Amino acid sequence: MYVRTVDLRNDFEAQRFGNILEQEGIPHHIKSNHDTALDGIFQMELGWGYVMAPEESKERIVELYAEYRRSERSDSMKLIFLGPPGAGKGTLASVAKERYGVPHISTGDIFRTAIKNETELGKKVKGILASGALVPDELTIALVRDRLSQADAKAGFILDGFPRTIPQAEALEEFAPVDTAVDFVISNEAVVERLSGRRVCKGCGKNYHIKFMAPKKPGICDACGGELFTRDDDKIEAITFRLKVYRDQTEPLIAYYRGRDKLLEVDATPSPDEIQADLDGKLNG
């Protein structure tokens, strides 16, 4: 069965990527969104068009497209996602990592995995995360420096939730200077609504929202059937405290990156697809 695989950005890319698929011997059809519109199917489309291919080739095509995008880029793709808790950084990063072919590195996810696995790191940070306070700079910087030294982060990365303080940003500039800091702009009210409705899968960690991204069956993960739960730091007292920590310690990073001409603002209120399209346009424009 043919399924939709990757999105293509323009005619030129359709030709180049089509040639790559030919060389790899992967059967496919390239559809432009113009064709789709003529087919009478109306849907909001991202970009110029997309590749239809057998379901079993999808994973390979996603890999080939990521390789193609890496080879096409003259500059690297070292991004940080900045913005208040609940702005949608993690949600967008899980889409953008495939699109840009770079790893998504979330310090929050690293800490939560350590807590789940009851490692030494997990024991150290468990109470800090539940309260909404920040893990000490020294520990967090060492962890990110180590993660960025791994091979998959050489060509680029999306750092989600790091840096969060000026000392973290200064350290990062020393060991892995970023190209762009993407600031997710959103109101406090929207943040509270997003965080209080967030549910996370105990099994695979996928994020949902009871109103905006509801699972098919309430309380059950669509992807793995795991149970959904509310994060300790998504309780209202912790949300209020996290917002204060953000304003006091992380918001100054906006001026820090603006002063270095690396800041790019995106409106974080529309759907993830619309935010991704806005980000693509701004990064390529």
Can you give the binding site for ligand AP5, defined by CB under 6 A? 85-91, 106-108, 111, 128-129, 132-135, 140, 161-164, 168, 194, 197-198, 207-209, 212-213, 233, 242, 271-272, 275
Residue 156 bridge partners (DSSP): 77
231 is catalytic: yes
Edge-to-edge strand ranges of the sheet holding 180-185: 104-106, 156-160, 77-82, 180-185, 263-267
- Which of 124, 126, 145, 231 is an active site residue? 231
Question: Which of 112, 164, 199, 262 is labelled catalytic?
Answer: 164
For 267, the 3-state DSSP assignment is strand
Nearest distance in Å: CB 238, ligand AP5: 8
CB of 93 to ligand AP5, least distance (A): 7
Query: Residue number with the shortest CB distance to ligand AP5?
Result: 108
CA dist 110 to 12, 107, 116, 126, Å? 39, 5, 10, 12
Between 129 and 201, whose beta carbon lies closer to ligand AP5? 129
What contacts 268, CB < 8 A, 6 or more positions away?
Answer: 83, 87, 88, 184, 185, 186, 190, 275
Q: Quick one: 5 or 91, whose CB is closer to ligand AP5?
A: 91
CB of 280 to ligand AP5, least distance (A): 15
Selected catalytic residue, list 112, 147, 198, 199:
198
- Annotation marks residue 198 as catalytic: yes
Any catalytic annotation for residue 89? yes
3-class secondary structure, 231: coil
Given the residues 147, 199, 242, 262, the one annotated as active site: 242
Cβ proximity to ligand AP5: between 168 and 180 the closer is 168
Distances in Å between the Cα of 42 and the Cα atoms of 59, 70, 110, 214 are 26, 31, 40, 23
Describe the strand order of the beta sheet including 49-54 as a list of residue ranges: 2-8, 49-54, 29-32
Q: Which is nearer to ligand AP5, 15 or 271 (CB)?
A: 271
Just list the catalytic residues.
89, 164, 198, 231, 242
